[in-house]
């Protein structure tokens, strides 16, 4: 028998490619990501005409209007001025200046003695940092075409008391983002990206957690009607590090996010939560890829969505790859959809690919259901109006996720947003009913 050795195929981040449609091929080069035809498994749910502006790669596209919300005081991060003369690359003991451009801002956030750095991110910087390469054409277009990237670096050991909130506002034009967030060893932070306004936004956002780091990452897609947002949020979880990611998609015409997790050592934890609410005509697509590539790692995925109105369409894809070496991993993914009206459609596709049986657990569940008339009846039989009863049921549906966010201002915002969506729908329905009565 010939003793052949097959060398593993590596992608441009040096990760072994498993031949499977579950496993997206990563590459920094735009040309490696062909424009989709719509027949590809990963594109078959997406209305390509509505995301065309993000697939047609351009160069030198500016960012959203970024601002760091420093307790109500908005600090612009869109352009980084040349280093101020009075503070030439100010370095504090313990800071590692070499990684950062002299144009970066170093800020001592509450609870820390070392500086968190906000700065630009060139393509060369991003590659040198060992980031994950773009997984699809939209992310590749953003990676290569963005003018000024953004890097946020929380130094090793820094435990931030308050969340870092980044307000990202679309200004009615195309925008590209090339963003990298890194948490040093044993650092701990909450970082919130709050997207609003109107934009065609292609995004590459990569996050690295070093050993023992803890990050709560929240991304809120609160776009105006008409906005288009696509691309990737990729996470690398270091040994013993803990990631909690919360993705909230409410607004926009189309949102299509690829969210990926891989591990850089044993014992990393990743909790991925999602809440989405699609109204008439909205397309919201969340594609998760959990690469269980290290032993004893844990992943939990729980996404919940509500849909109402004609043409509301949501897609949730949960791909989990358990590699041959990933002994002792534990993985569970769940997706639940609540369809509130006729004419809405939820697609939910969990996929598990298991290459080793030596694991603690791997499972998934996916349910899509209509509004439960029995729940409505029970609540209304206690005098609660139909609108209020619906609101309670939908709030209850999301509550299990919302209570786990752990960032009070985000929790409140979400409760309010869910209420507003339901009120709007009820008002629309009331209007239709009145019109119908009139036209009879």
Partner 1 sequence: MADLLISGLHVEVETETGPKEILKGVDLAVHTGEIHAIMGPNGSGKSTLAYALAGHPKYHITAGSAKLDGVELTELKVDERAKAGLFLGMQYPVEVPGVSVANFLRTAKTALDGGVAPKVRTWPKEVNAALARLDLEAAFASRSVNDGFSGGEKKRHEIAQLELLNPKVAVLDEIDSGLDIDAVKVVAEGINRYAAQGDRGVLLITHYTRILRYTTPDFVHVFVDGRVVEEGGTELAERLEVEGYEKFVKAAA
In this structure, the dihedral spanned by the alpha carbons of residues 65, 68, 70 and 72, taken in order and rounded to 10 degrees, is 30
| Pick from 317, 304, 320: nearest CA to 362 | 320
Site residues for partner 1, 392-431, by CB under 8 A, read 392-393, 395-400
Residues 62, 314, 427: CA angle, nearest 5 degrees:
95
According to DSSP, residue 16 is labeled B
Rounded (to 5) percent helix, strand, coil in the chain: 20, 40, 40
Query: 28 or 397: whose CB is closer to partner 1?
Result: 397
**CA gap 221, 219 in Å, rounded:** 7
Q: How far is the CB of 129 from partner 1 (least distance, A)?
A: 40
Give the pairing of strands 361-370 and 65-70: unpaired
Residue (59 or 385) nearer to partner 1, CB: 385
- Give the nearer residue to partner 1 in terms of CB position, either 325 or 395: 395
In the bound complex, what is the minimum distance in angstroms from residue 261's beta carbon to partner 1? Answer: 26
Least Å distance between CB 395 and partner 1? 7
Cα separations in angstroms, 222 against 119, 254, 407, 417 = 25, 12, 17, 9
Residue 296 or 391 having the CB closest to partner 1 = 391
Cα dihedral: 295, 17, 272, 34 (round 10): 170
In whole angstroms, give the CA distance from residue 140 to residue 9. 20
Contact 206, 142 (CB under 8 A): no
Q: How far is the CB of 423 from partner 1 (least distance, A)?
A: 16
Kindly tell me which of 241 and 405 has the beta carbon lying closer to partner 1. Answer: 405
| CB closer to partner 1, 332 vs 399 | 399
* Rounded least distance, CB 379 to partner 1, Å: 7
Residue 412 has phi, psi (to 5 degrees) of: -60, -45
250 versus 338: smaller Cβ distance to partner 1: 338
Confirm if 195 and 384 have CB atoms less than 8 A apart. no
In the complex, the smallest distance separating the C-beta of residue 373 from partner 1, rounded to whole angstroms, is: 6
Helix (H) or strand (E) holding 283: strand 283-292
- Look at the alpha carbons of 62, 63, 69, 70 in this order and tell me if their dihedral is positive or negative: negative
Least spacing, CB of residue 399 vs partner 1, in Å: 4
Minimum CB distance to partner 1, residue 394 (Å):
9
Q: How far is the CB of 320 from partner 1 (least distance, A)?
A: 25
Nearest to 157 by CA among 183, 182, 181, 187: 187
**What is the C-alpha to C-alpha distance for residues 293 and 265, in angstroms, rounded to an integer?**
9
* Distance between start and end Cα atoms, the chain: 83
Question: Of 146 and 394, which CB lies nearer to partner 1 in the complex structure?
Answer: 394
Site residues for partner 1, window 47-86 (CB under 8 A)? Answer: none
One character per residue 176-205, x = contact with partner 1 (rule: CB under 8 A): ------------------------------
Residues 6 or more apart from 293 whose CB is under 8 A from it? 15, 262, 263, 321, 323, 325, 326
Residue 342 near partner 1 by CB under 8 A = no
Q: How far is the CB of 230 from partner 1 (least distance, A)?
A: 31
Size, binding site for partner 1 by CB under 8 A: 24
Rounded to whole angstroms, the Cα distance separating 89 from 323 reads 44
- The residue among 200 and 421 lying less far from partner 1, judged by its C-beta, is 421
Nearer to partner 1, 74 or 376 (CB): 376
- Smallest distance, partner 1 to C-beta of residue 282, A: 23
* For partner 1, the closer CB: 107 or 376: 376
> Which residues within the stretch 351-390 sit at the binding site for partner 1 (CB under 8 A)?
372-375, 377-386, 388-389
Residues making contact with partner 1 (CB under 8 A): 372-375, 377-386, 388-389, 392-393, 395-400
């Amino acid at each position: 028998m010939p003793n052949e050795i097959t060398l593993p195929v590596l992608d441009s981040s040096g990760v072994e490619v498993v031949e499977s449609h579950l496993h997206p091929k990563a590459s920094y080069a735009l040309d490696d990501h062909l424009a989709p035809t719509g027949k590809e498994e990963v594109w078959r749910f997406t209305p390509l005409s509505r995301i065309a502006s993000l697939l047609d790669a351009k160069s030198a596209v500016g960012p959203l209007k970024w601002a760091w919300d420093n307790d109500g005081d908005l600090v612009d991060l869109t352009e980084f001025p040349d280093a101020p003369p009075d503070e030439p690359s100010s370095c504090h003991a313990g800071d590692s200046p070499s990684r950062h451009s002299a144009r970066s801002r170093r800020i001592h956030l509450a609870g820390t003695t070392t500086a968190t750095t906000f700065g630009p991110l060139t393509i060369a910087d991003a590659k040198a940092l060992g980031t994950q390469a773009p997984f699809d054409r939209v992310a590749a277009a953003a990676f290569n075409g963005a003018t000024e990237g953004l890097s946020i670096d929380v130094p090793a050991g820094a435990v931030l008391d308050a969340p870092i909130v980044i307000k990202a506002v679309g200004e009615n034009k195309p925008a590209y983002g090339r963003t990298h967030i890194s948490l040093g060893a044993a650092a701990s932070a909450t970082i919130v990206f709050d997207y609003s306004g109107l934009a065609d936004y292609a995004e590459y956002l990569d996050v690295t957690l070093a050993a023992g780091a803890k990050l709560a990452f929240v991304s809120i897609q609160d776009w105006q009607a008409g906005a288009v947002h696509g691309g990737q949020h990729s996470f690398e979880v270091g040994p013993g590090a803990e990631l909690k990611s919360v993705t909230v998609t409410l607004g926009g015409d189309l949102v299509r996010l690829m969210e990926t997790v891989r591990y850089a050592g044993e014992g990393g934890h990743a909790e991925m939560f999602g809440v989405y609410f699609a109204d008439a005509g909205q397309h919201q697509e969340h594609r998760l890829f959990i690469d269980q590539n290290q032993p004893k790692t844990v992943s939990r995925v729980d996404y919940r969505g509500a849909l109402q109105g004609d043409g509301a369409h949501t897609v949730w894809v949960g791909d989990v790859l358990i590699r041959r070496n990933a002994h002792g991993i534990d993985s569970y993914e769940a997706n639940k959809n609540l369809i509130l009206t006729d004419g809405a459609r939820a697609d939910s596709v969990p996929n598990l690919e298991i290459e080793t049986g030596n694991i603690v657990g791997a499972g998934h569940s996916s349910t899509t259901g209509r509004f439960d008339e029995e729940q409505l009846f029970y609540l209304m039989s206690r005098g609660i109006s139909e609108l209020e009863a619906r609101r309670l049921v939908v709030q209850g549906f999301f509550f299990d996720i919302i209570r786990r966010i752990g960032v009070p201002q985000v929790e409140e915002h979400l409760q309010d947003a869910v209420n507003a969506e339901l009120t709007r729908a009820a008002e629309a329905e009331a209007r239709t009913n009145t019109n119908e009565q009139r036209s009879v």
